[in-house]
Amino acid sequence: MAASNLGPYHVRKWFTQVEQILTTESGEPADGQPAHRIVIAAAITNPYAGRGFVGDLSAVVEESAQLGEEFARRAVESAAGTALSSYGKACLVGVAGDYEHGNAFLTQVFADPVRAGIGGGKAWVPSTGKVAAAGAAIDIPLAHKDALYVRSHYDTVTVAFGDAPRPDEVVIAFAFATRGRLHARLGGIAADQIGGEDGLR
């Protein structure tokens, strides 16, 4: 097992992807500020890889707040002063591990420090994941951080990580956006109408 370098975890490498969206796919200029999508990800040694079925995954869950704090720090740094309004998370588990190993990194223990670090978030964080070989792409769902029913902020960001995950790794990714889709026009609750009480509306 490689030596730990962030709490009990060994992070082999960090990834940051930033997109700036200036127009819609049909070329219509942004209605306001361009949208920025930011993905922070880490390739982490999977302590359960190659061990067959492991019933207790709490060793990963219990210390994952430290990971969340570092993800939040990197997200805020990448946003460079622009508020983040939506989020989503994902895992890619190397082929020597189980999908549940990735989910162990993505619990509320990990997500709560991310919420706090970006200025709060009342809504649950949409999530996805899969077992895959290095270089596999994954679509990370996005939704408004304070109200899931805000249709304008339903979005997806697609990422891949080159040489990760290795068979004995998990890639953990957290995606963010600075606004909803350009020219969203499907009605529903607008972002400036959020009540902010229940994480839904």
CATH number at residue 121: 3.30.1330.110
CA 66 remoteness from chain centre = 15
pLDDT digits over 118-145, tens only? Answer: 999 999 999 999 999 999 999 999 999 9
Note the pLDDT of residue 185. 95
Best CA proximity match to 134, nearest among 111, 155, 112, 163: 163
Residue 1: pLDDT band with limits 50, 70, 90: low
pTM of the predicted model over 0.85 = yes
Angle value at C-alpha 66, between 60 and 71, nearest 5 degrees: 105
Question: How far apart are the two ends of the chain, measured CA to CA in Å?
Answer: 45
Evaluate if residue 168 carries a pLDDT over 90.
Answer: yes
More confident position, 193 or 16: 16
Quick check: is 200 in a domain? no
Note the pLDDT of residue 199. 79
Peptide bond into 167 cis (omega under 30): no
Quick check: is 29 in a domain? yes
Quick check: is 198 in a domain? no
pLDDT digits over 24-33, tens only? Answer: 999 999 999 9
Query: Are the C-beta atoms of residues 141 and 156 closer than 8 Å to each other?
Result: yes
Q: Which domain holds residue 16?
A: 11-193
Quick check: is 85 in a domain? yes
Quick check: is 5 in a domain? no
Quick check: is 170 in a domain? yes
10 Å Cβ neighbour count for 96?
A: 17
Residues 121, 64: Cα–Cα separation, whole Å = 18
Residues 88, 115: Cα–Cα separation, whole Å = 11
Residues 63, 109: Cα–Cα separation, whole Å = 8
Residue 2: pLDDT band with limits 50, 70, 90: confident
Mean pLDDT for the chain overall? 96
Q: Looking at the 3D structure of the chain, how many domains does it have?
A: 1
- Residue 12 has phi, psi (to 5 degrees) of -75, -40
Best CA proximity match to 144, nearest among 76, 201, 81, 71: 201
Best CA proximity match to 92, nearest among 60, 41, 131: 131
Mean pLDDT of 18-43: 98
Quick check: is 4 in a domain? no
Note the pLDDT of residue 156. 97
Mean pLDDT of 75-86: 97
Mean pLDDT of 176-195: 92
Quick check: is 22 in a domain? yes
Residue 12's region, left for phi above 0, alpha for psi from -120 to 50, else beta, is: alpha
